[in-house]
Amino acid sequence: EAGVTQSPTHLIKTRGQQATLRCSPISGHTSVYWYQQALGLGLQFLLWYDEGEERNRGNFPPRFSGRQFPNYSSELNVNALELEDSALYLCASSPDLRGARYEQYFGPGTRLTVT
């Protein structure tokens, strides 16, 4: 069974630009989560999508947004990039709410560097 996949692996952007990160969940998983892993700050919850809807977001500004497509893949958009947005962005997926809803499986991440 294929795991969570993310693209691109690395992304270099300039301050003020926009970044788009993509995630494909494990087949059969309907929930997708985004986390930011910044140096010194640990793993911070960003967003949760389930069945195409944003269900919950963490303590991040509105310039962090995303969406989930009908095939359950997801996209994270970061607008007006700032230097402190440089981090590893991790996507995770889990089975639907009626199953083992807590088990989140992570992808390898996208390393975003803002210069």
70 lies in the site for another protein, by CB under 8 A: no
Which residue in the block uniquely carries the two structure tokens 């992808």? 107
- Identified binder of another protein from the candidate list 22, 45, 75, 96, rule CB under 8 A: 45
Whole-angstrom Cα distance, residue 101 to residue 106?
14
CB 35 within 8 A of CB 87: no
By CB under 8 A, residue 60 contacts another protein: no
Site string for another protein, 75-94 (x = CB under 8 A): ---------------x-x-x
Helices and strands, counts by H and E, the chain: 0, 11
Residues near 104 by beta carbon (within 8 Å), at least 6 away in sequence: 33, 92, 93, 94
Instruction: Identify residues 15-34 at the interface with another protein (CB under 8 A).
Output: 31, 33
Asked if residue 48 binds another protein (CB under 8 A), the reply is: yes
Verify binding: residue 56, another protein, rule CB under 8 A: yes
Comparing CB distances to another protein, the nearer of 4 and 76 is 4
Which range binds another protein by CB under 8 A, 13-21, 60-68, 69-77, 99-107?
A: 99-107
The CA–CA distances, whole Å, from 36 to 1, 46, 59, 68, 110 equal 25, 7, 11, 18, 10
User: Which parts of this chain interact with another protein (CB under 8 A)?
Assistant: 4, 31, 33, 35, 42-45, 48, 50, 55-56, 58, 90, 92, 94, 97, 101-109
